[in-house]
Chains A and B, each alone.
Chain A
Amino acid sequence: MAGKATVGILAMQGAFIEHEQAIKSCGAKSLQVRRAQDLREIDALIIPGGESTTMGKLLEQFNLLEEIKFQAEQGMPMWGTCAGMILMAKEIENSDQIRLGLMNIEVKRNAYGRQVESFETALEVKDIGITRAVFIRAPYVQKVWGDAQVLASYEDKIVMVRENHLLATAFHPELTTKKEIPEYFLQMIK
């Protein structure tokens, strides 16, 4: 199925073109999602990195927030990177910002500090192995509950979580040439 799947990339703001290129390089089709009706054309959705507050406001203003929540409840596979992870979290430390609130995780925004603390590193991911991880003003996960399973930690902080058909990474696989994580997500599309 993965080869024929159409993966929607939420294109409100942020690094959506990078995700589109990564998905195409894995042999799947992609579609930029800006309208609620675009959600009917896709088999899975990626919520990219960018500014979570910017994306949240646009999702609400253009009536995508409830539609995406509905699709997630119906079982559509979704993957959020960085800001996408923040939007997918049910709990965000010290924030009442607009969110999708799909996953049983609590995230801390800008958890590593400001831009001068941004970094890249090798990272071991469960079932995948060693990959390259780029953290940009990144969040991390402080707590998981329910069905949420930790797939990777960096220096004791949770940075990758899967909860059934939902995937979240604090880092940016789309900024590297490594395909392991996009391919892992494509495998989640039945």
Chain B
Amino acid sequence: MAEKGSLKVKTGLAQMLKGGVIMDVTTAEQAKIAEAAGACAVMALERVPADIRAAGGIARMADPTIIMQIMEAVTIPVMAKCRIGHFVEAQILQSLGIDYIDESEVLTPADDKYHVNKNEFTVPFVCGARNLGEALRRIGEGAAMIRTKGEPGTGNVVEAVRHIRQVNDEIRWVSNLPKDELMTAAKELQAPYELVLQVAKLKRLPVVNFAAGGIATPADAALMMQLGCDGIFVGSGIFKSGDPAKRAKSIVAATTYYNDPQVLAEVSRDLGEPMVGIDISTIRPEERMQERGW
């Protein structure tokens, strides 16, 4: 009998997205530009993170009309964001037939203690993480894919780098521990023991891990790939830049040829104005999106 919504089917789609670029889009036209540039999926939003940051107030799930227009415009997978803990937004997105849900810190959290129980859904989820414990808690709740949080809407890659280095450090640490120390490691990481055992064995996260939050250039994308990420999310970096189609295409090429500096030099040329970046130290800690999530 056919089995839908199994863990293999959920994590399988993330495996198919690897080595690719998932781009934030707010209209059907932007979705078509992203697809034409070689995006492996798009994230349907009402506003990109840079605009959410500028607008302030409460950021919520996008209007289903926008999401459906984007789904009709492209043949590649379409993702959408729900608020942390807002399982009804997730139910709505699943009923729309969205391909992946991002339970995202970019939107204003709906629950200050709990995330969505993602195991209950047929649609797969991706969640942000700054460290191994956070990644494994999300996987324990049913996330089939992880991404760095970075600091969204800044065009500044430093936080995404910090987060992937932190996760990698902790994976190396866990992988080198004798088995009798892993329960205490799980306690320190605040992570499920069974998942810590898996990480120690696999020497990597048990699901696909993408980079997100501040990637703005082909070199940023290649940096995150060389640091061990499986693929790239670009939010504001494309449609807040001077020439979105060209920048999108060059980030796609950089994600494939991340180890080839000659190609990286070629695709980095004449891209026009990048998005204006923000120094993280100028953002007050309570306004940092990466602090959201429990």
Chain A residues with CB under 8 Å of chain B are 11-18, 34, 49-51, 53-54, 57-58, 61-62, 82-83, 95, 109-110, 113-121, 134, 136-137, 172, 175-176
For chain B, residues 53 to 77, give those with C-beta under 8 angstroms from any C-beta of chain A. Answer: 75-77
Residue of A109, A115, A137 with highest tally of chain B CB at under 10 A: A115
Cβ of A134: which chain B residues have Cβ within 8 Å of it? 8-9, 12
Q: What are 21 A-B pairs with beta-carbon distances under 8 A?
A: A11-B19, A12-B19, A14-B18, A34-B256, A49-B15, A50-B19, A51-B41, A53-B38, A53-B75, A53-B76, A54-B39, A54-B252, A57-B38, A62-B253, A62-B257, A82-B16, A116-B123, A119-B2, A134-B12, A136-B12, A137-B13
Contact, CB under 8 Å: B13 / A50: no
Cβ of B242: which chain A residues have Cβ within 8 Å of it? none
State the CA gap A134–B15 with chains docked (Å): 12
State the CA gap A172–B8 with chains docked (Å): 11
Contact, CB under 8 Å: A175 / B256: no
Q: Digitize B1-22: 1 where CB-to-A-CB distance is under 8 Å, 0 elsewhere.
A: 1111110110011011111100
State the CA gap A136–B124 with chains docked (Å): 12
Contact, CB under 8 Å: B256 / A58: yes
Contact, CB under 8 Å: B8 / A11: no
Cβ of A57: which chain B residues have Cβ within 8 Å of it? 37-38, 249, 252
Cβ of A113: which chain B residues have Cβ within 8 Å of it? 97
Q: Digitize B28-48: 1 where CB-to-A-CB distance is under 8 Å, 0 elsewhere.
A: 000000010111110000000
> Does B94 interact with chain A (Cβ within 8 Å)?
yes
Contact, CB under 8 Å: B4 / A119: yes
> Does B99 interact with chain A (Cβ within 8 Å)?
yes
Contact, CB under 8 Å: A14 / B19: yes
State the Cβ distance, B263 to closest chain A Cβ, in Å.
8
State the CA gap A173–B13 with chains docked (Å): 14
Contact of A54 among B1, B38, B98, B122 (CB under 8 A): B38
Cβ of B233: which chain A residues have Cβ within 8 Å of it? none
Q: Given contacts A17-B18, A118-B4, A119-B4, could you give 7 more A-B pairs where the C-beta distance is less than 8 Å?
A: A34-B257, A49-B15, A54-B39, A115-B98, A115-B123, A116-B97, A120-B9
